[in-house]
Amino acid sequence: MGQKLTLSVIKADVGGFVGHCGVHPDLLEEARRMLAGCDLLVDFHVTSVGDDINLIMTHRRGTDAEEIHRLAWDVFVACTGLARERKLYGAGQDLLKDAFSGNVRGMGPGVAEMEFEERESEPVVVFMADKTEPGAWNYPLFKVFGDPFNTIGLVIDPKLHGGFRFEVHDLIEHRAVDFVLPEEMYDLLVFIGAPGRFAIKSIYSRQTGWIAATSSTQKLNLLAGRYVGKDDPVCVVRCQSGFPAVGEVLEPFAMPHLVAGWMRGSHQGPLMPVAQRDAHPTRFDGPPRVVALGFQLANGRLLGPQDFFADPGYDRARQIALEVADYLRRHGPFEPHRLGLDQMEYTTLPQVMEKLRDRFRAVD
């Protein structure tokens, strides 16, 4: 076709079943029905991770296309209606605005979109997490595109050897900054090592300029000005032939690194890689989890998914995650299991602080 393809992943929590643990099947059915009945898309796949609905869509309208965003918004509004009828938990949780105004960015849903020429073979991985924040992708994305101990291709594949450019967003000050690796690795790590504030938005090959990865970076609580749930981010990564291999892209998740989220969005916990069927966080509303679905794109068609973390190769990561979960849980309300005060400002604490404000007296 020669025409560029856009891969859009747009997600929202519009009501949990039961509590914050899953999505009611009626909502997924409605989302599928609506996307199937629309002629804007080349293909789509509807799925859920925890209580978040993920719309994985291919089309030819580019990123930030109003009609695609409107379609996703309409799906989430319709699903919110079903959630309300069923009195599902937190119906409409992530829809922060009443009316659509051209783009779902800033309205609550998470968006990861990229436009590219489909290569001769185009393997992609869609990562979807529940009970955590966008900065959760910093560690694995750095490992995949910046660390030769993870990605041997950076060393031995001439197509990767030129390195990658990382676009980082400051989620509090709303600024962006680029770093080129390997030269600026230490500078990059100064920022992305603070995932509550800085998140990797996109990554580009320096040799081809092609986009390699992109993630959703909305901060729900900052948008809403109160605690409404965690962001539960998504991330899309292109693989092979000039990009890291599928196995290199999945490898960082063998280490269940600590992320912010879990119960009431207020705790550190291990990010546990799981199969889609196991993506229902229940223990203390967690632990936070991540699903990786693989697709081969064929003229925009989504062949798949391949449910990567169903692999027993990730059993040990799950075991470590559970051991870390046990250890952290024993801290109860104490940091560092509970988030530090600066991060709690964006979660559930401010109202309690406000109530007690007058009880504080000065000491010498």
Piece in contact with ligand 13P (CB under 6 A), picked from 27-35, 101-109, 177-185, 257-265: 257-265
Burial 43-79 (b: 16+ CB within 10 A, else e): bbbbbbbbbbbbbbbbbebebbbeebbbbbbebbbbb
Under the binding rule (CB under 6 A), the answer on residue 130 touching ligand 13P is yes
- In angstroms, give the least distance from the CB of 281 to ligand 13P: 8
Nearer to ligand 13P, 50 or 153 (CB): 50
State the Cα angle at 277 between 250 and 227, rounded to 5°. 80
Q: C-beta of 335: minimal distance to Mg ion in Å?
A: 23
Using the contact rule CB under 6 A, the part of the chain among 41-49, 77-85, 259-267, 333-341 near ligand 13P is 259-267
- The stretch among 39-47, 145-153, 166-174, 224-232 that binds Mg ion (CB under 5 A) is 224-232
- Check: CB of residue 206 under 8 Å from CB of residue 163: yes
Q: Can you tell me which of 169, 219, 264, 338 binds ligand 13P, judged by CB under 6 A? A: 264
- Strand, helix or coil for residue 153: helix
| Residues across the chain | 364
Residue 122 sits in the site that holds ligand 13P (CB under 6 A): no
**Which residue from 232, 248, 285, 307 is in contact with Mg ion, where contact means CB under 5 A?**
232
Stretch that binds Mg ion, among 37-45, 48-56, 72-80, 320-328 (CB under 5 A): 48-56
In the annotation, is 98 catalytic?
no
Q: In what order do the strands lie in the sheet with 5-12?
A: 43-49, 52-59, 5-12, 110-116
List CB contacts of 22: < 8 A, sequence separation 6 or more.
Answer: 16, 48, 50, 51, 280
| Residue reference for tokens 């973390």 | 309
CB of 24 to Mg ion, least distance (A): 12
Show the CA angle centred on residue 300, arms to residues 278 and 246, nearest 5°. Answer: 50
Q: Is residue 230 within the footprint of ligand 13P (CB under 6 A)?
A: yes
- Residue from 123, 229, 273, 300 touching ligand 13P (CB under 6 A): that is 229
Nearest distance in Å: CB 330, ligand 13P: 19
130 is catalytic: no
Angstrom distance (rounded) from CA 240 to CA 251: 14
CA–CA distance, 94 with 57 (Å, rounded to integer)? 20
Alpha-carbon distance 170 to 164, whole Å?
A: 19
* 263, 297, 328, 339: which one binds ligand 13P (CB under 6 A): 263
4 is catalytic: no
**Burial (0-12, 13-18, 19+ Cβ within 10 Å), 25:** exposed
Is residue 131 at the binding interface for ligand 13P, with CB under 6 A as the rule?
yes
In the numeric block, which tokens belong to residue 260?
């912010």
The least distance separating ligand 13P from the CB of residue 183, rounded to whole angstroms, comes to: 37
Q: Which of 9, 14, 20, 34 binds ligand 13P (CB under 6 A)?
A: 20
The set of catalytic residues is 13, 227, 230
Residues that bind Mg ion (CB under 5 A): 13, 16, 20, 50-52, 90, 130, 229, 232
Binding footprint of ligand 13P on the chain (CB under 6 A): 13, 20, 50-51, 93, 130-131, 229-230, 232, 263-265, 285
